[in-house]
Structure 1
């Protein structure tokens, strides 16, 4: 019994200080994004770099690769938030268009099936299709966040709810707790961005249809 408690405590405080640094920077970048702060992008780059190492060690290869994509998307999103609006102005919060939903849904389904098959047959990933699904939805959510689409937070709420038990199962307890906090932050982000979208629409400063 004492040995089991010791093992749980060791995992709960993190296998290395690296995971805790990744947890703190990960929380900070999402909080900054919910506040529409540009600083979320450089902080996200730091956190994603650390999680490349962490997910590789945990054999979550799709999520490891996702961090590389997130780094690239963060660089692009940084530029978009600054100059992606009308006449190269800052973006304002807007709603996701129907054609965007269609393309994202088709892309997520194709990615989940294709990459899930690869992980199942050519790697030792223990949850290949679920790993691929969370990766696909995360990519869709990140794209919407880059374009300051309000509904990115709804996708994050869904994917964060999946990540909490997955990461707990992988004994990444601090990171599982982080995703529980992400879930709350996503709700907060949705409320804040919805208010911002309403203000942009009322003042006529929206960059695209609300």
Structure 2
């Protein structure tokens, strides 16, 4: 229990009174490791991500868990809870595919109809969730919090389905996430989003090359 208490309270302090919670750093490290495993199409990407989500959930509900950072980012907190549910779905999908076909996922492009549905769902979700998060006292600008939540939901679903475009959704999430997290004082998460944004671009091209190679093989075999 002493170790858990230390993990919960530990922080890295900087001159001027700024600090970073140690569990925020660890949670983001798990998230990055999960993304790396996802790029490599490894099933263990999902349980590793779940561990990070559980830590970050306590971080973004600062006032609820008695954190030194009293700012609540409800979209970010709900995002972690959503990840727990979506990760179970993705984990089961990739595991079943690996058992049946020998690999966890075969990257493929989403149809244009699916892409349009993703964009419309994202916009509708932001419109619906913004007033909800604002009423619950989330940090301003609340639309950005709702935008990150919906983008993360769609990206996670796209990863479970094996769509190459899910990496680009993450890039769009990071563009808004970095300034929001920095202004709210979640510096470790903001820095991680910068690094993660570059990483997701790499992941996109890795999956794109895999899809491209399969297209060439299919063309030569016909």
TM-score (normalised: structure 2): 0.81
Q: What SS does the aligned partner of 1:6 have?
A: coil
Matched, 1:68 2:73: no
Any stretches of 5+ residues in structure 1 without a counterpart?
A: 205-210
Cα distance per residue 1:138-194 (max 9 Å; x no partner): 111111111110011111111112111111111111111111110111011011101
Matched, 1:7 2:16: yes
Partners of 1:124 and 1:180 lie apart in 2 by: 23
Cα drift, residue 31 of structure 1: 1.3
Partners of 2:61 and 2:16 lie apart in 1 by: 21
Distance 1:84 1:99, change over 3 A: farther
Q: Counterpart of 1:108?
A: 122
Cα drift, residue 84 of structure 1: 4.6
Any stretches of 5+ residues in structure 2 without a counterpart?
A: 1-13, 63-70
CA contact (8 A) 2:74 2:138 kept: no
Partners of 1:67 and 1:132 lie apart in 2 by: 13
Number of residue-to-residue matches in the alignment: 196
Partners of 1:38 and 1:150 lie apart in 2 by: 17
Q: What SS does the aligned partner of 1:7 have?
A: coil
Partners of 1:156 and 1:106 lie apart in 2 by: 16
Q: Counterpart of 1:47?
A: 52
CA contact (8 A) 1:83 1:91 kept: no
Partners of 2:81 and 2:214 lie apart in 1 by: 33
Q: Counterpart of 2:7?
A: none
Partners of 2:194 and 2:75 lie apart in 1 by: 20
Partners of 1:124 and 1:75 lie apart in 2 by: 27
Hey, which bits of structure 1, 4+ residues long, moved more than 4 A? none
Matched, 1:37 2:42: yes
Q: Counterpart of 1:184?
A: 198
Aligned CA RMSD, in angstroms, stands at 2.1
Partners of 1:26 and 1:116 lie apart in 2 by: 25
Q: 1 or 2 for the larger relative contact order (CA 8 Å, sep ≥6)?
A: 1
CA contact (8 A) 1:137 1:159 kept: yes
Distance 1:122 1:93, change over 3 A: same
Matched, 1:161 2:175: yes
Cα drift, residue 124 of structure 1: 4.3
Partners of 1:202 and 1:84 lie apart in 2 by: 23
Partners of 1:62 and 1:68 lie apart in 2 by: 10
Partners of 1:92 and 1:67 lie apart in 2 by: 26
